[in-house]
């Protein structure tokens, strides 16, 4: 059961590529680490090797499943950006596992970890540049691709807001239309009475505008995050598509690829 | 003066169908103007008139809904960092002058050739401006999408930005340094078009893109500032004459405030050249619709003798084409938003699965 698992690493068609080793903390990868490493790999034309090191004291089966699930997210992110991806699960101490992997799969150019991983432990064993992505600073506004990751309490507060503003907006409309004759009489008097329709539309635009804004938020339609991220993803994917047109035999005939 | 106006003007009775129509057109118009900076007015004014609203009241009520809508849209897009307020205010100032020139010009034409001549002038300037500018924007949009979404700085704007004619102005959000003198023609043309066909944005936005050199995103957002300033001034003027039918305004506003926010959100979903695609599509279809209206005015001027029934059919076709222009614009916006959000939600479910895992 407690066997170290390496998915077709050295035999894969892309094995001649240089690699980024992404080390997750225990059984997971933080969003920041995933984004950073996938984009970096895309730009550098590297391959990603994701490593989960599970301490021997943990329940092997459960941990492995969790590691697989976590790696799946990273795998999908990588495939969206056309970055080749491998996943490795190892048991034991962090430093030893990284060193072992470094020996087996070669061409690991750099290691990316998140701040939950003890980098020193890796540094003691391996002489590969180690980058630590700070994943503790979670920005609630810009931390995700879409803003519809509100937690349920936020959503509840939003619903209350929508209901309140909606009622207020409806009240304004009801007042105007139930007294349409009076309202029209004064609003069309002209002169200084001109302020009446102007003030009314201002009031409506504040109340009804806020209602509309919150309504779209409640429905999960909100502004998307930075354009730049998507553009990078797109460009990288395009670039990789071009790279993939190379004859596949390239990797097999490369006489150095296993050295 | 306003008392006289009240005596003449009849305010219509509203029924359910007309309320729904106005609300829907308001919503779609709002969606389009939140996205490209203007739009909706060209359907709303004739639409209200077809419901029996007198022309002046239709224009006044439309304008009175336009400025709060533009304000809400501008605020929303300001939060996304797309609005250049300085550029908007400077253009709005010259556009204000442009409106006066446009009105004077129209009065002159009215005096010279009568109502039909004035209508013909409006239609012809409509068609000319829309075809030329719309065609240009469309060609640019096609080129950009062929190039895979990469936009090049427009040659004219680059040239004008190099000319050092004081006072030079720097616009921070648009990230442009250009002489004040080159912004003035854009503002004047925007104002003149607004006075003539009620949609200044059709020249304001392309003007900002191709003459001043702002991006499509910043231009369409900044147009909302211009629309707010001009719409506000115009509305106060109309309200002083007692021409605003607040009921019509509020119904349209009810829909358009929902739409304008959706349109503003939409700009963050799509690739930037989509703004140009939507704008050009709408402009070209509207141009066709105006062309349908020309035989009527030519008849009135006794220049042609087209059958009366044909003219009335053409008039209906013209109005429906305009509604179609707005609807197609809205469809493009919504479908591209839907596509983008589907792609993004796929990404976010993956993130989610990580969080849960």
A189-230 pLDDT, tens digit per residue, is: 888 888 999 999 999 999 999 999 999 988 888 887 654 445
Same domain, A32 and A139: yes
Chain B residues with beta carbon closer than 8 angstroms to that of A177: 247, 250
ipTM: 0.85
Does residue A180 share a domain with residue A103?
A: no
Q: Could you tell me the two tokens for A178?
A: 């139930």
In a domain, B346, yes or no: no
Instruction: Provide the mean pLDDT of chain A.
Output: 74
pLDDT for the residue numbered B90: 94
Contact between A111 and A99 under an 8 Å Cβ cutoff? The reply is: no
* Among the partner residues B65, B246, B356, nearest to A176 by beta-carbon distance: B246
Helix (H) or strand (E) holding A149: none
Structural domain contains residue A48? yes
Q: Is the peptide bond before B167 cis (omega within 30 degrees of 0)?
A: yes
pLDDT per residue over A184-200, tens digit each? 888 888 888 889 999 99
Contact of B48 with B251, CB cutoff 8 Å:
no
Residue B282 included in any domain? yes
Q: Between residues B331 and A106, which one has the greater pLDDT?
A: B331
Chain A residue with minimal CA distance to B80? Answer: A223
**Counts for chain A of helices (H) and strands (E), in that order:** 9, 6
d(CA B205, CA B252): 24
For A97-116, what is the mean pLDDT? 80
Q: Which of B71, B347, B354 sits opposite A29 (nearest CB)?
A: B354
Residue A147, pLDDT score: 41
Strand A47-54, strand B168-171: pairing: unpaired
CA distance A249 to chain B (A): 30
Q: Do B242 and A209 touch (CB under 8 A)?
A: no
A171 & A87 share domain? no
Tell whether B347 is covered by a domain: no
Q: Is residue A259 part of a domain?
A: no
What's the CA gap between A254 and B18, in Å, rounded? 74
List the end-to-end C-alpha distance of chain A, in Å, as a whole number. Answer: 31
Domain extent, residue B251, equals 2-338
| Residue A166: inside a domain | yes
Residues B4-33, mean pLDDT to the nearest whole number: 79
Above 60 in pLDDT, residue A160? Answer: yes
- The pLDDT assigned to B20 comes to 93
| Structure tokens that stand for A150 in this block | 């509100």
Q: What CA–CA distances, in Å, run from A229 to A36, A105, A233, A238, B79?
A: 11, 31, 6, 14, 19
Residues of B in contact with A213 (CB under 8 A): 76, 261
Task: Kindly state whether residue A223 falls inside one of the protein's structural domains.
Answer: no
Contacts of residue A172, Cβ cutoff 8 Å, sequence gap at least 6: A200, A203, A204, A207, A208
* Two tokens, residue A24: 């997750």
- Supply the pLDDT for residue A15: 55
- pLDDT digit string (tens) for A225-254? 654 445 545 555 555 555 555 545 454 555
Residue A53 domain-assigned (yes or no): yes
Residues A64 and A115 in one domain: yes
Quote the minimal CA–CA distance from B67 to chain A in Å.
9
Measure the CA–CA gap between A175 and A196, rounded to whole angstroms.
Answer: 14
Domain region containing A167: 152-218
B262 close contact with A: CB closer than 8 A: yes
Q: Tell me how far apart the alpha carbons of residues B113 and B72 are, in angstroms, rounded to a whole number.
A: 40
Domain identity same for A139 and A187: no
Say if B349 falls within a structural domain.
no
In a domain, A224, yes or no: no
- How many domains does chain B fold into? 1
Residues A116 and A240 in one domain: yes
Chain B residues with CB under 8 Å of A187 CB are 239, 242, 244, 246
Does the residue B299 lie in any domain? yes
Task: With beta carbons less than 8 A apart as the criterion, state whether B69 and B58 touch.
Answer: no
Supply the pLDDT for residue B260: 94
Q: Both A130 and A240 in a single domain?
A: yes
Q: Which of A61-75, A129-143, B29-43, B139-153 has the highest mean pLDDT?
A: B29-43
* Domain CATH code at residue A240: 3.40.50.620
pLDDT of residue B77: 92
Judgement on whether residues A86 and A64 belong to the same structural domain of the protein: yes
Instruction: Report yes or no on B355 lying in a domain.
Output: no
CB contacts, 8 Å: B240 with chain A:
190-191, 194
Judged by CB atoms closer than 8 Å, whether chains meet at A216 and B262 is answered as: yes
Residue A198 in any domain: the answer is: yes
Q: Does B306 touch chain A (CB under 8 A)?
A: no
- At B257, list the tokens: 């405030």
In this structure, the answer to whether residues A169 and A125 fall within a common structural domain is: no
The pLDDT value recorded for residue B348 is 60
- Domains: count for chain A: 2
Joined tokens for residue B98: 């442009």
Q: Is residue A110 part of a domain?
A: yes
| The token pair that represents B78 in the structure block | 């300001």
In a domain, B356, yes or no: no
Indicate the residue of B79, B249, B350 with minimum beta-carbon distance to A197.
Answer: B249
């Amino acid at each position: 059961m407690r066997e170290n698992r390496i998915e077709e690493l050295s035999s894969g068609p892309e094995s001649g590529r240089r690699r980024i080793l992404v080390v997750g903390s225990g059984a997971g990868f933080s969003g920041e680490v995933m984004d950073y490493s996938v984009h970096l790999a895309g730009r550098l034309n590297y391959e990603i090797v994701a490593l989960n090191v599970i301490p021997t004291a943990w329940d092997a089966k459960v941990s492995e499943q969790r590691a697989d699930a976590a790696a799946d997210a990273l795998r999908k992110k990588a495939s969206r950006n056309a970055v080749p991806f491998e996943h490795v699960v190892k048991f034991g101490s962090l430093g030893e596992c990284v060193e072992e992997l470094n020996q087996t799969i070669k061409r690991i150019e750099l290691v990316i970890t998140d701040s939950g991983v003890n980098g020193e432990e890796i540094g003691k064993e391996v002489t590969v540049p180690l980058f630590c992505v700070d994943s503790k600073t979670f920005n609630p506004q810009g931390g995700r691709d879409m803003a519809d990751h509100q937690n349920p309490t936020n959503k509840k507060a939003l619903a209350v807001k929508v209901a309140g503003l909606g009622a207020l907006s409806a009240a304004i409309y009801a007042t105007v239309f139930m007294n349409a004759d009076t309202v029209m009489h004064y609003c069309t008097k002209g002169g200084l009475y001109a302020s009446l329709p102007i003030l009314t539309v201002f009031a409506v635009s504040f109340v009804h505008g806020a209602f509309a804004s919150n309504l779209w938020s409640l429905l999960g339609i909100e502004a998307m995050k930075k354009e730049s991220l998507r553009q990078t993803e797109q460009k990288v994917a395009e670039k990789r598509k071009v790279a993939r047109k190379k004859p596949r035999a390239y990797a097999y005939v490369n006489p150095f690829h296993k050295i | 003066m306003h008392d006289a106006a009240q005596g003449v003007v009849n305010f219509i009775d509203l029924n359910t169908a007309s309320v729904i129509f106005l609300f829907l057109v308001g919503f779609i118009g709002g969606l389009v103007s939140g996205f490209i900076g203007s739009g909706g007015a060209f359907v709303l004014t004739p639409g209200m008139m077809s419901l029996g609203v007198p022309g002046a009241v239709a224009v006044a009520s439309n304008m009175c809904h336009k400025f709060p809508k533009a304000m809400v849209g501008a605020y929303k897009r300001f939060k996304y960092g797309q609005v250049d307020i300085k550029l908007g205010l400077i253009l709005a100032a010259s556009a204000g002058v442009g409106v006066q020139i446009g009105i004077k010009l129209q009065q002159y034409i009215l005096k010279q050739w009568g109502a039909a001549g004035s209508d013909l002038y409006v239609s012809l300037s409509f068609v000319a401006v829309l075809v030329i500018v719309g065609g240009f924007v469309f060609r640019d949009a096609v080129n950009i999408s062929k190039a895979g979404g990469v936009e090049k700085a427009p040659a004219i704007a680059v040239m004008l930005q190099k000319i050092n004619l004081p006072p030079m102005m720097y616009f921070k959000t648009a990230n442009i340094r250009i002489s004040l003198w080159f912004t003035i023609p854009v503002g004047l043309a925007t104002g003149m078009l607004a006075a003539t066909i009620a949609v200044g944005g059709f020249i304001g936005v392309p003007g900002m893109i191709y003459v001043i050199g702002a991006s499509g995103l910043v231009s369409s957002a900044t147009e909302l500032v211009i629309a707010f300033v001009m719409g506000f001034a115009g509305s106060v003027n109309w309200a002083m004459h007692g021409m605003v039918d607040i009921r019509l305004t509020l119904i349209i506003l009810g829909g358009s405030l929902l739409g304008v926010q959706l349109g503003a959100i939409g700009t963050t979903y799509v690739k930037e050249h989509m703004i140009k695609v939507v704008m050009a599509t709408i402009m070209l279809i509207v141009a066709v619709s105006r062309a349908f209206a020309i035989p009527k005015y030519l008849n009135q001027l006794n220049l042609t003798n087209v059958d009366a029934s044909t003219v009335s059919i053409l008039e209906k076709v013209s109005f429906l084409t305009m509604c179609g222009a707005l609807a197609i614009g809205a469809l493009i916006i919504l479908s591209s938003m839907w596509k983008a959000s589907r792609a993004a939600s796929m990404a976010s479910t993956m993130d989610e699965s990580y969080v849960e895992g």
